[in-house]
Amino acid sequence: MATILLLSGPNLNLLGEREPEIYGTATLDDCVGDARAAAEAAGHTLEHFQSNHEGELIDAIHAARGRCAAIVMNPGAFTHSSYALADALAAFDGVKVELHLSNPSAREEWRRKSVVAPYVTGTISGFGRIGYRLAVEAAISKL
């Protein structure tokens, strides 16, 4: 049916090792597996791409234009600083879901502002690993 692109930003490759008290003990592969299972259960395909480099994430968003029906993105720290990612998301016509394992609004002051939020359909945050499934299901509900 549709292709959903799951994008993972900087430091998410360290999930399961980095600050487990905040991000949990699940690995990125675990989270991607949950997202893929949710997509496939609804008859969709999920592609995943992780990068610690802003330009590579932007290129992935550009490549999704006209090819993917939705993007689910955990921008990591780029959430708060990357106007370039925000611009790339604005140029994507499909469904866009911002995803965070933790609740940025309940953390440090600098994490409370998302520069990508104005360009997404909705945000899932604070639910840990389950958020990956929820974000894919939310994206599918808007297709």
Catalytic sites, residue numbers: 23, 100
Burial 110-124 (b: 16+ CB within 10 A, else e): ebeebbbeebbeebb
Strand partners, 50: 8
Burial of 106 (0-12, 13-18, 19+ CB in 10 A): exposed
